[in-house]
Amino acid sequence: MKLYRIKKSNIDRNGRGLYATKDIKEGTRIIDYVGKIITKKQSEESEKFDNSKPIYLFNLNNKYDLDGNVSWNTARLINHSCLNNCDYEGQGLKLWVVAIKDIKKGDELTCDYGFGYDSDYKQFPCKCGSINCVGFIVREGSRWRINKKFKKILRVNR
């Protein structure tokens, strides 16, 4: 039995998300993140990655990227949350999604998309609804640039 199923998302109201079909323990590999392996040159030259942030583009090493924006990559449906319960992991040219905390059956699976902070961050609002939502899709370590209270939280945690 798969650990996830596709359902209309609570975060992305126009889209779908992945939901846990049973309780998942921290550290469990949930799904592979697959796609087309392309060279850096290809991703730099492709218009596909020009206008928006490369939501589905992963850096594999200094030669290759992975373009996960393909229909057979179910893991692309995982939404971003400021309080994510999953994270991307990889080795060599393989990527997968792992639980970073215990997840309850029925919970939506979420990742931190890892966007850096830059001038167009407002293009990507976050509607994750978590208590620490910063309002935009920006990686955890950069959220204090948008809202100073996150600086404090980071200090407490480290």
Residue placing its CB nearer to Zn ion in the complex, 9 or 43: 9
CB-count burial class (<10 Å; 0-12, 13-18, 19+) for 64: middle
Nearest distance, CB of residue 94 and Zn ion, angstroms: 28
Structure tokens at 116: 């850096």
Of 62, 42, 63, which is closest to residue 54 (Cα–Cα)?
A: 42
Residues 7-66 that bind Zn ion (CB under 5 A): none
Angstrom distance (rounded) from CA 58 to CA 70: 13
Residues 71-90 that bind Zn ion (CB under 5 A): 82
Contact 22, 47 (CB under 8 A): no
CB-count burial class (<10 Å; 0-12, 13-18, 19+) for 26: exposed
Nearest distance, CB of residue 11 and Zn ion, angstroms: 8
Give the HSE-up count for residue 130: Cα atoms under 13 Å, Cβ half-sphere: 19
Residue placing its CB nearer to Zn ion in the complex, 39 or 130: 130
Residues 97-126 that bind Zn ion (CB under 5 A): 126
Residue placing its CB nearer to Zn ion in the complex, 18 or 126: 126
Among 68, 128, 144, 150, binds Zn ion (CB under 5 A): 128
Residue placing its CB nearer to Zn ion in the complex, 58 or 136: 136
Q: How many residues sit in the footprint of Zn ion (CB under 5 A)?
A: 4
Q: For binding to Zn ion (CB under 5 A), which residues are involved?
A: 82, 126, 128, 133
